[in-house]
Each structure stands twice: as structure tokens, then as C-alpha cells.
Amino acid sequence: MQQHWIQRMVYWILLAMLASLLCISTARAANSIDSNGTPQTVAVGFYPMILHSLNQQNSTFYADLYVWMRWKGDPKRDPTATTEFVNNVEKWGFSNNSTYETPKKLLNGEYLKELHVQGQFFQPLLLDNYPLDKHELSIVLEDSTYPINELLYKEDIGQSGLDARVNLAGWKITGWTVTTEPHAYASKFGELSTTPPPAYSSIRYTVNIERPLNFFVWKLLLPLLIVLLLGCSALFIHPTYTEVRLAAPATALLSLVFLQQAYSASLPEVGYLVLLDKVYVLAYILVVGLMLSTIITSSWIRTGDEVQIKRTIQWDKLIVICMLLFFVVGTSVLLIS
């Protein structure tokens, strides 16, 4: 009799556990999917207050911004609890604080949760057009728990924006965008089911920036032009002063090397030539051409013949014009293309 009573107790305990699991599963589905079977929609907005410390070598930047989420349904089904900042780096320095502990109920029945976010974010930078490069600094959110058929982000364009005081030193901010995109994974992360790999909803806030033209003209191009004019001045010295004529292009060549090293120090090690590297290649060709011209003309005037000296002076003027024209045309083609 006692054994029969124990068996009945075990049976009712197992039945209660099964009913509990079924209720939990049903409640989760009800919280994530509405009565029509469509995923829960969450409106996401962004409002950066500060952008700073854009690091080209590490492809990172710091941001201080507000992020909010607005949804309908159960307030306990808080989407901010499962939100992940995908491109955040240095987790130890990341701050993600809720403005208020519990979701706020709005007049239209929706619930609102607001986050104050501070941290460093990773954004790959393509520098092939440096120093006239343009970039997109993005902050990407993705739900880490519910797939796209259960939770779907949408853009809160009307409320999102960019604070008027945002100023990224050395760059000009040209605008911002908010876009949603599904993130489909190619792995099931260890699961052996026959279902396809999961896809999650993600949303991307992007700030568009570009480098001012003045930076290129006054800080990079002007010193280069001065060095090239110094090298060209050698051909205006009388052809009989061969050593002096060779010294100016040689000095210009060394100056070009140091100038190139100066701007390259602020760039990462990339496997391609940036725009300014190509401009410097033209400058190297010009200076080497000046040196070769000086060496060639020095052999013309060994006899001291006045006719050869006059011929050399005319040749020097032609070489200077051709070299400068070559550099100007070549640089213009690089800038336009």
C-alpha cells in the first residue's frame, strides 16, 4: 500500500513539472509573439551626445549616447535586457545604464525603456582615399536571445537624431542614418536540430563623416609643393655649379621621405597605397628626374663651350616646366578618379 502511494506521488510530481514547463513555454511565446503569430516589434531610437577619439590605427571611436526602445505587450518582456552592442570593444570600460529601473507606460499603451550608453566601438576604416577619405561610424545593436521571427527591430526615425553640439575634431559630420538588417548566422552553435541556422534582428545607427579639404591643402599638399619647388630651383642655378645643382634635389628627396613618414605614422599598416602615397610617388619621380637631368647636363658643359651652356639653360627651363606639368596633371587625375 505504501509503495503504491509513493508511486502515485511521483506520478503527480512529474505531471506538475511537465505542466510548469508547458506554462513557461507558452508564456514565453505569448510575450515574444502576438496573437496573430507575428514577431514582437520594438522601435529603437538613438541620440548621440558626444563623439570623440577616432583612432585610425585601431579603427575605433568613443561615443556617449542615449538609446531607447518602445514596444507593446508585457512590460516584463523588456527587450533592453537581451540587447547586445555588437561592435563594442573594451567591455571593462563600457557603461550601459537604464534611466529608470522599470519600463515607463506611455499614453498609447506602449512601454518605454531608455539607456545611457558610453563606450568604445569598432568601425573598420577604408583609407585608400586618404586624406580625402569619407567614413561611416556605426553603432550596431542585436538581440542576443530571440530570433527574428520572435522579435523585430524597427527604426524610430522621428525621435532619433544627433545633438547639435557633437563635434568630432578633425572631421566634418555630414549626416546620420538608422537602418535595420537581419543577421543570419551560418552556424547552429552546437545544436543538432534540422532547423536552419538562426537569424536575429539588428539595427545600425551610422554617423557620416569626411575629412575637410583644408586639411589636405594646407597641412599636406602645401609642404610638399614647397619641397618640390626647392628641388626645381636647382635648374635655375648656372650649369657650371654642378655640385650645388645636385644638392637641391637631394635635399628635396630626403625631405619627401621625412614628410611621408610623418603622415604615415598616424595610419595603420595597410597593404595598399593610399591617395597621398600615390601623390608622393609622382613627387619622387619629379625629384629623381631633376637629379638625372642635372647629371646629364653636367656632361654637356665639360668643355666650357658657351653654346652648350646656353643649350643647357634652355633645357633646364623646359625640364622644369615639363616636370611641374607632369606633377600637376598627375595629381589632378588622382584626385578626380
* Element housing 59 (H / E): none
What local confidence, expressed as pLDDT, does residue 117 receive? 97
Taking only the tens place, the pLDDT of each residue in 39-79 is: 899 999 999 999 999 999 999 999 999 999 999 988 888 99
Q: What is the DSSP string of 151-206?
A: EEEEE-TTT----TT---TT-EEEEEEEEEEEEE-S--TT---SSPPPEEEEEEEE
Overall pTM surpassing 0.85 (yes/no): no
What local confidence, expressed as pLDDT, does residue 174 receive? 96
CATH number of 214-336: 1.20.58.390
- Residue 20 vs residue 291, higher pLDDT: 291
Range list of H helices, the chain: 2-32, 213-214, 222-232, 242-264, 275-300, 306-336
pLDDT tops 80 at residue 32: no
- The model's confidence at residue 301, banded by pLDDT at 50, 70 and 90, is confident
Let me know: does 166 contact 174? Beta carbons within 8 Å: no
Q: Indicate the range of 83-87, 165-169, 188-192, 265-269 predicted with least confidence.
A: 188-192
Taking only the tens place, the pLDDT of each residue in 139-167 is: 999 998 999 999 999 999 999 999 999 99
What local confidence, expressed as pLDDT, does residue 26 receive? 43
What local confidence, expressed as pLDDT, does residue 31 receive? 46
How far apart CA 72 and CA 276 sit, in angstroms, is 53
CA quadruple 142, 146, 147, 148: dihedral, nearest 10: -70
What local confidence, expressed as pLDDT, does residue 9 receive? 58
Closest by alpha carbon to 127, among 246, 9, 272? 272
Let me know: does 233 contact 282? Beta carbons within 8 Å: no
Fold classified for 37-211: Acetylcholine Binding Protein; Chain: A, (2.70.170)
How far apart CA 160 and CA 151 sit, in angstroms, is 20
What is the domain partition of the chain in residue ranges?
37-211, 214-336
Taking only the tens place, the pLDDT of each residue in 218-247 is: 999 999 999 999 999 988 888 888 888 889
How far apart CA 32 and CA 308 sit, in angstroms, is 91
What local confidence, expressed as pLDDT, does residue 87 receive? 95
For β-strands 104-105 and 111-122, DSSP reports them as antiparallel
